[in-house]
Structure 1
């Protein structure tokens, strides 16, 4: 195999990986519970839709019962709660973390980005921003751990 064939094969393989992530996302529906007046929640949903997910939005004037129903710990809460499969997705979780979650299917309750960090999906374009995505365990006595680091070096 010459250099040109190798490079063409590498490019095709990379394209296939991206296409498989989009195909996996296309088969998944995210139910987004959000405040009807929150713009950043809407922008997060749009970002996930661009990534290939189907979005079902439910406007909720009071999100506390939703967070309680899915077991989102108070210290992990953000402005919206989404559900994909058996997982909750709390806050501005990036698409790359969702891809990892759906690929690995760990035994956790969900993922969370507490607060509303700058540069996270829906929170403005800040290419230098970095933040952490936490795995939240089903057992409430277990402390959440970093599952994914988003930012310039992720």
Structure 2
């Protein structure tokens, strides 16, 4: 089953690539690696939610926002390589979580992105990851996800 077929089976559709909000491009390929720019939880051109984890945004909401970010990252990756079947492996994922100083469950928020990548790409979706709490993210997004993928 292709990653696109897995997406359909999950009831998901890759969105249009989120246009940059500053001076960067959504993804860059160098050799067999593709680096995506940080993806925030944009849905149909609008931020799905704003705020900070532990201060108005629940862990469950953060998890879902992380999934949306990963879906947006997959859209940027596909736009760069043409077909998600070309993904050999997701090498690294970085999850930034806008957090109240007392919030310490950034890894649980990041699981939303990690689990989505595994569901869509299978073994190729298993990756190294960092989940980092930050004071604020662009547009008041609660989560931002970037990834590095090896492609064939």
TM range (shorter): under 0.3
Greater RCO, 1 or 2 (C-alpha within 8 Å, sep 6+): 2
Please give the TM-score of this superposition, normalised by the length of structure 1: 0.26
CA radius of gyration, larger in: 1
More strand by share: 2
TM-score, normalising length from structure 2?
0.27
